[in-house]
């Protein structure tokens, strides 16, 4: 009996390692991708704000967005993210302020300040996209881009990804959280597809 338990443990462990490697592979496909120029809009996904200051994770997203916006002056920015615990302002407002500090004119920034997760980031931002807009860019950290683009595709948005770097100190926590979030996304999507077929 004990041998069977030990064997089961190692089987589960091996499956877990293989699954984690699969997720990491899917995430890594978006490392270093470069979106096309002159997108009609750019969505900056929110992340934690400490009081009124962006976390390192959010700051890297804002920096990446600012670089793109400076090169593509006709692109508008949608700053997405609501206000959570410990945040004195919404993530969207924080993104806007930081983009302005980096030289992006306020007239180019649209606020989506109600979302609480990536799904809402995408769907609430979609409502703010100009009717004439076609091509877009989603900006988030490299570990998060696979799921963000998957959700955007589900929402029928034609977008490319712009990966921001992930601060070294945030890597372990961010990737573990993302593995769990992707797994939840797979489960929810599978259940939705199953219901559609029944």
Give a yes or no: residue 6 inside a domain.
Answer: no
Number of domains in the chain: 1
pTM value is: 0.91
Give a yes or no: residue 17 inside a domain.
Answer: no
pLDDT of residue 191: 87
pLDDT of residue 31: 93
Contacts 24+ apart (CB under 8 A), 92-101: 92/46, 94/46, 94/49, 94/52, 94/53, 94/54, 94/58, 95/44, 95/46, 95/54, 95/58, 95/61, 95/62, 95/65, 97/52, 98/54, 98/59, 98/62, 98/66, 99/44, 99/62, 99/65, 99/66, 99/69
Give a yes or no: residue 87 inside a domain.
Answer: yes
Give a yes or no: residue 110 inside a domain.
Answer: yes
Give a yes or no: residue 159 inside a domain.
Answer: yes
Phi, psi of 161 (to 5 degrees): -100, 145
pLDDT of residue 4: 77
Give a yes or no: residue 2 inside a domain.
Answer: no
Query: How many residues are listed for the chain in this entry?
Result: 198
pLDDT of residue 162: 97
pLDDT digits (tens, 9 = 90+) for 141-153: 999 999 999 999 9
Residue 72 lies in domain: 28-197
Give a yes or no: residue 18 inside a domain.
Answer: no
What CATH number is given to the structural domain containing 72? 3.40.50.620
Give a yes or no: residue 57 inside a domain.
Answer: yes
Q: Mean pLDDT, the chain, as a whole number?
A: 94
Residues of the chain with pLDDT under 70: 198
pLDDT of residue 7: 80
pLDDT digits (tens, 9 = 90+) for 8-25: 888 898 999 999 999 999
């Amino acid at each position: 009996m004990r041998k069977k338990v030990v064997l089961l443990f190692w089987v589960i462990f091996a499956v877990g390692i293989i699954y984690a490697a699969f997720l990491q592979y899917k995430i890594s496909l978006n490392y270093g991708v470069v979106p096309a120029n002159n997108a009609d809009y750019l969505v900056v996904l929110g992340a934690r704000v400490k009081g009124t200051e962006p976390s390192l994770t959010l700051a890297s997203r804002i920096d990446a967005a600012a670089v793109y916006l400076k090169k593509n002056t006709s692109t508008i920015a949608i700053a997405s993210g609501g206000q959570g615990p410990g945040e004195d302002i919404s993530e969207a407002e924080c993104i806007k302020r930081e983009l302005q500090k980096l030289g992006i004119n306020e007239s180019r920034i649209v606020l989506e300040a109600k979302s609480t997760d990536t799904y809402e980031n995408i769907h609430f931002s979609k409502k703010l996209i100009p009717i004439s807009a076609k091509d877009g860019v989603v900006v988030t950290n490299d570990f998060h881009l696979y799921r963000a683009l998957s959700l955007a595709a589900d929402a029928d948005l034609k977008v490319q990804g712009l990966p921001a770097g992930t601060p070294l100190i945030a890597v372990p926590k961010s990737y573990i959280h993302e593995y769990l979030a992707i797994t939840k996304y797979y489960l929810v999507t599978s259940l939705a597809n199953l219901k559609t077929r029944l």
